[in-house]
Structures are given as structure tokens and as C-alpha cells.
Structure 1
Amino acid sequence: MKPIKIVLPILLLSASAAASWALIANKPAAAPPAKNRPLPQVTVAMAQPETLRMNVISQGIVKPRTEIDLVSEVAGKVVAIHPAFADGGFFKKGERLIAIDPRDYDYAITRAEALVAEARKELLREAAEAEQAQNEWQALGGGDANDFVLHKPHLAERRAKLAAAKADLAAARLNRSRCDLAAPFAGRVRSKQADVGQYLDSGQIAARIYATDRAEVRLPVPSAELEFLDLPLTYPDAGQTSLGPAVRLSAQFAGRMHNWEGRIVRTEGALDDKTGLLYAVAEIRDPYAYHKDRPPLAAGLFVRAEIAGSERRDLIDIPRAALHSGYQVYVVDKDNRLRQRRVEVLRADTDRIVLGKGLQPGERVLVSGVELPIEGMQVAIQTSSSSSAEPGHGAD
């Protein structure tokens, strides 16, 4: 037993020494020091002051400037209508659109003429009697006669009755003229509500019509955009017009984009109490004029409007991606480090922003390459053409 007790510890010590030597001999080599990480590659836009026209974009629906109900002023049966008296039909100023049976009104004229003739006869007879009474009184030599003896009240009554008879005749003739419903302007029928054989009461609507010489579009303008527009906000002085800036309207029609020219003619009297918008009204002359390559500017058409704005100098137009929350951008300084700038944003759309203040000419503005920019971060600027500033066009 003693040899085993002596040999076993020796074997265990030998095995432990061999294992330790193996661990030391096969230990992993020390990792090489980590290399510096590459700098973020960013794209920039140059801050270049420009003179830009700050056009304002709006939209609206085309409406006629003048639209009325054609109302019958007399009662009667419709006996004729204009050939174009139908929904969408065109007519000229003064054309008869509806004719009402005039016979009852012709009869009324005849009766009124008879009453005028009778009243004139009675006046002449009363005048003769008054002259005779004057002569007889003078022959008697009885002094001054009173008005009744001289038939002066009788004459006044006959004159009044003649005037009333003439007024009745004029009214009968006026009613007869109202049997023809004429167009007060050149226009178009929006909807008709009467036809041949129908009986119309006095005051009944026969059609809805509108003029085609002018069209209008109500264009909402945010209050922040008003500084870019020369709008007629006040009442014009005598002899002055209130025409405002030019407007270019565009709309998709029959698969093509078409354009029309107009002018701002007025603004509405108050801001919308729900939206805070001011509505400017654009007027388009002769919207139905023939153009071989353009359809008419029909009522009800939805259009996009570009209102000519004022020119502003020393503005900077850069990509929208350069703007961060809080109206901030980052510029790359001469050491290629990011520096934060707070800017004045005059206009922002989906692609571009226009800045008024906050940048110096020639500064390089970070556009992309860093998702979370940090003040003082060092970056590397890409040398591709994408890093150059794009021409400014966002304000047009």
C-alpha cells in the first residue's frame, strides 16, 4: 500500500504541471489595437444667396362671377322655349329663353286703352263745362266765383282718372312684355325647370343660368403667406383699380394638363373664423373662349393656382432634408466639424426650404449622411456631384 500512496501524489503533481505548461504554451495572442473608425461620409449644399420670386400656391373651384335664377314675373302657360334652353345650353344677351301665352295680357292692354280713351273724353267734357261755367258767371257779373262753381275740383278729378288709366295701360303693357323671359347676359343654362306646356306662377323659378364672360376662383391664402403678395386689402381710391397679382391656373382635363391666366381682383372681407385663412378672388376673363389646344374653363373645375409673389433678395434655397427639428440646420466648418445653426424658414415644401436668416454665404450645409448629427462631430464630405448645391427653384 505504501508504494501506491507515494506514487499517486507524484502522478497528480506531474499531471497538473503538464496541464499548466500546456495552457501557457497555447495561450491566445494579444489582440492588436483597434484602428480608428472611418468618418461619416456626408453630402452638403452650399449656402448661396439668391433673388427669388415668392409665388404662393393655392387651389379652388371655378365658379361663374354672375349666376341667377330666371324667374317668371307673370303667370301663364309656356308656349315656346329657346332652342338651346337645356342644361348646358349657351345663349346670347337679349335672346328670348321662354315665351308665356300672352293673350290674357293682350286683352288687358285693350281694356286699359279703352279706359284711357274714356277718361280722356270725360276730361275734355269737364273742361268744356268748366269754360261754360266761367263764361256764364262773368255774364251775370256776380263778383268772384268759388272753385266749385268754376268746376276746378271736377277738372282735377278727371285729370287724375286719366293719369290712373294711363298708369293701368302702362302696367298692362309691362306685364305683356314680361311674357318673354329674355337673357340679361350672354351665358349658359345650369339647370332648367320649365318646358313647353307647363304653367308658371308669378315668381316661379324657370331655370338657373350664369354668365360666361367672367369666371372666379376663391383661393385660400394662409396669413403667413400674405407678406409675399401685393393683395388689394383696402378700398381703392377714386380712379384707381384694385387689380392684384397675376394668377396661373392649371388643371388636369382629358388626360392633359392645361393652363389659364387670371388676376386677383379682390379679397374677402374677413378671415375665415375656423381656419384663419384669407380668401383672395381670382377673375378669369372670357373663360369659354375658343382655343384649339385648350378646353374652356368650365364651372365646377378644380384648379391649382400659382399667385405671383414679390421678389425677395438674399434668400437661400436648400434641400428640405437639411432642416432638423426646432428650425435648425448643421453646417460643416473648415475643420469638417458640425456646427449648429438656428435659421428663419420662410417657406418649406416637400423638397426644398427657403431661408431668410441664419446662414452665411458660402457655408456648407449638411444634407445627408448622419442620422443624428451632434455638435462638434467630425465628418468627411463626399466629393461626388451630389454634394454640390442644387439651383434654387423652390420658391417659384
Structure 2
Amino acid sequence: MSIFIRRYLPVVILLLFVGLSAALLLNRPQTQQKIVETIVPVLEVMAVKKQQLAFNVSSYGMVKPKHQAELVAQVSGVVNRLSPAFAVGQFVRKGEVLAHLDDADYHADLAQAEATFAQAKALLAQEIARGIVAKKTLSYISTTKQSALGLRIPQRKQQQANVKFAQAALARAQRNVARTIITAPFDGLITEKHINVGSHVNIGEQLGIIYGTDVARIRLPVTPQAFSFIDPNSPNTTVILTNEHHGQDFQHWTARFIGTEGVIDPQSRMVYLIVDVIDPYQRRLSIQQRTGVLNFGAFVTAKIAAKPIANAVKLHRHVIRNDQVVLVNSNGLTQMRKVVVARTDLKYAYISAGLEDGELVSLTWPDNYLEGTAVTTVLNPPQFIEQPPLTVIHSKDVDNGE
């Protein structure tokens, strides 16, 4: 029996394994065939709508007075009086007295000039009388034989010249007396003062500096490319200046566009625009009406109204690469389109040609883009008009996808 088991047991075990394997193969689950689905890319698109877009060209500059003057002594002398208004930071009116120089010697010169003038007039009157007497005395002589010297004509002309000379000296003496009084040449702000009571000044010596407060002038640099967007001949070009006030609030002023300096600066290669602000310190208003002054020396940013673009389309800059955009046609297929970029800022590009109303522009650039790819579109609301907040940049700076 043991011999039988040892001889046939391996065969039995093998048959059992073969039977079990056959049962497993017969009862295995059937493999289900899977259908491969094609993934269709989804693109966010915008329907093109042409519109007239307004622009601002941004710049910056420092506020300076349109008029400023050095107060210079026209006569020499000792300062014997100073006005309290003649101090740094004080506002003065045109013609207001700022300082007095010692005028005693100049009054003496004036009195002497007046006496010389009176003497010259008296001598002229005497000479005129002598000429009348000489003419009567020589009346019996033929006119052709009467000499100018005998009629005292040269003597009269000499006295007339003496009168003019004395008159000019008198006028100079009067001016010198007036020049001992230093007055403000215009409404302004005293920014420098170089004299005190007792100071001796000479002719041509600077006494101080005054800035005119009637008009502030700002030079605004722009690139030649940005300047091409501005109409320099338009009297209605608006300029808005902005300045941070005390590190918190921003104040705004409307400036008057004057024009340009007419040249391109050889150092910076910029065109300088000239704008004016009337009454920057609001001196013409009452204290209650003053809302905020524009101080000389303040740094301001400016927005200059540029020429609008008709029939333009605004797109985000990243949508454009190499002056091309991705469109989705009526069949849901993508295609490339060359466009004309009129101008850009740091956020948007403004298309002047190449797109038509109603066309769908992709707002994203597809990865691994292929022409004619079928896509699913998600319509985005159209872009509304905004004022670009930053300086216009040359169109060649549009993102080239690098």
C-alpha cells in the first residue's frame, strides 16, 4: 500500500493542480474593452468689439516758478531798514517795500542836479533873449549878410544841449534816490535773503531771490514715441497733476498745456512738454477757499490726454505674441492672425487693425499650440474702456513669448 501511495501520489497531485488551473482559467472575469476619449482643450475667449479708446500719456516733473528774480542792488549804500516781509518763506505783493538803503548822499546829488538843471534853463532863457536882441540889432543888414554867430544861434544850441544834459543828470539822480528803496518786482515768495540791517551793499550785489507765485511751470519729459500720441496744437489738451500730500492723501491739479521746448534733449533723448498751473499757492483765494497748494519743488506725476484711437480693440498683453493672436473660427478650430499693435502700456495692448467685430479671440495662449486644433470655448465679458494708468510703451515691447 505504501508503495502504491509513493508511486501514484505525485501524479494525483499534478492532476489536481491541472484541474484547478483549468477551473480558474474558465472562471476568470472577461476583459472589458475601453473606449478612448479625445480630450478637447477649453479656451477662454472674448468677442471682438471695436470702440474709440482714449489714452493718457504719463510723465513726471518738478514744480518750479515760471518767473523768478534775483533782487540786486542798483546803487551802493548801507541797509538802514528791512521790512518784516523780507524773510525766507514770506509772501509779498508787487511793489511792496522790502528794504531801504541810506539815501542821504543820493538826495544831496538830487538837489545838486535840480540846481544845475535850473541854472541851465536860466542860461538858455538868457541866450534866447540875446538872440532876439541880436536879430533886432541886425535887422537893417541884408538877410544874406547876417551871420549865424551874430544872431547867436550856435550859443543858443549850446545852451539847449546844456539843458538836456542837466535834465538827464536830474533824471539819473531821481532814479538813484528811488533805487535806494528795494521793492518786490511781482507777487511772489521770498526764498533767499542775503542782507541785514547795517549791511553795506555794492552795485550788482545780490540781496535775495523771489519766486513768482502767479504761475507754476512744470517740464514733463516724454519719449518721442509717446509724444507722437499727443496733439501739440490742440488747445484742449488736458493735463492732470498728482502729488502725494503728507504721505497720505493724493491731491490733483489741472494744468494748462503750453507746448514743447521744440527740441529733443541731446542727453536724455526726451521731448519736454511745458505745462502751467495758475496761482499754485492759491493766493487769489480766501483762506476758507484754499483746498491745497502746489509747492515749488514738489515732485508730481502727470497724465496728458493723448489722441484717441478709433475702431480699436483692447487686449491683455500676454494674449499677443510676435504681433499675433489666436482666434477660434465658427467651426471651433483655432487659427493665427497677424494684428497691428498701435500702442501698449504695462497691462494692455491696443489693436488698431487685424480684427473684426464678433470674432473670438483667445484670452489664453494654448500650450503646444497647433493650427486648426478643435477647442471648446468659454465666452468672457468684453473689455470695457479704461484709462491706462502708466506711460505708453513702444509697441515693439509687446510680449514675444520668450
- Provide the residue aligned with 1:329 in structure 2: 325
- Provide the residue aligned with 2:259 in structure 1: 266
Q: Which amino acid aligns with 1:327?
A: D
Give runs of aligned pairs for residues 1-396 of structure 1, distance below 5 A.
35=36, 38-137=39-138, 144-232=145-233, 243-254=235-246, 255-289=248-282, 290=285, 294-324=291-321, 326-368=322-364, 370-371=366-367, 373-382=369-378, 387-395=380-388
Q: Secondary structure at the match of 1:184?
A: coil
What TM-score do the two structures reach when normalised by structure 2? 0.78
Shift of 1:356: 0.6
Which stretch of the first structure deviates more once superposed, 166-175 or 270-279? Answer: 270-279
Q: Gapped runs of 5+ residues in structure 2?
A: 1-20, 26-30, 390-402
Which stretch of the first structure deviates more once superposed, 197-206 or 163-172? Answer: 197-206
Shift of 1:126: 3.3
Aligned partners of 1:352 and 1:394 also within 8 Å: no
Call closer, same or farther: CA 1:322–1:392 in 2, change over 3 Å: farther
Q: Secondary structure at the match of 1:309?
A: strand
Aligned partners of 1:318 and 1:389 also within 8 Å: no
Call closer, same or farther: CA 1:111–1:31 in 2, change over 3 Å: farther
Q: Which amino acid aligns with 1:365?
A: V
Aligned partners of 2:216 and 2:276 also within 8 Å: yes
Shift of 1:125: 3.4
Call closer, same or farther: CA 1:111–1:360 in 2, change over 3 Å: same
Q: Measure the CA separation in 1 of the matches of 2:125 and 2:66.
A: 55
Shift of 1:95: 0.9
Call closer, same or farther: CA 1:143–1:88 in 2, change over 3 Å: closer
Aligned partners of 2:54 and 2:387 also within 8 Å: no
Aligned partners of 1:45 and 1:318 also within 8 Å: no
Which stretch of the first structure deviates more once superposed, 184-193 or 123-132? Answer: 123-132
Q: Secondary structure at the match of 1:318?
A: strand
Q: Measure the CA separation in 2 of the matches of 1:359 and 1:225.
A: 24
Q: Measure the CA separation in 2 of the matches of 1:261 and 1:178.
A: 40
Aligned partners of 1:47 and 1:318 also within 8 Å: no
Identity of aligned residues (%): 29
Aligned partners of 1:266 and 1:280 also within 8 Å: yes
User: 1:104-153: per-residue Cα shift (whole Å, max 9, x none)?
Assistant: 21111011112122223333333444444445555899994423233322
Q: Gapped runs of 5+ residues in structure 1?
A: 1-20, 233-241
Aligned partners of 1:40 and 1:369 also within 8 Å: no
Q: Which amino acid aligns with 1:257?
A: F
Q: Measure the CA separation in 2 of the matches of 1:393 and 1:349.
A: 12
Q: Measure the CA separation in 1 of the matches of 2:350 and 2:139.
A: 102
Shift of 1:58: 2.2
Call closer, same or farther: CA 1:143–1:67 in 2, change over 3 Å: closer
Shift of 1:277: 3.3
RMSD: 3.2
Q: Which amino acid aligns with 2:242?
A: S
What TM-score do the two structures reach when normalised by structure 1? 0.79
Q: Measure the CA separation in 1 of the matches of 2:99 and 2:167.
A: 28
Shift of 1:48: 1.4
Q: Measure the CA separation in 1 of the matches of 2:59 and 2:160.
A: 66
Q: Which amino acid aligns with 1:62?
A: V
User: 1:73-94: per-residue Cα shift (whole Å, max 9, x none)?
Assistant: 1111222233222222211111
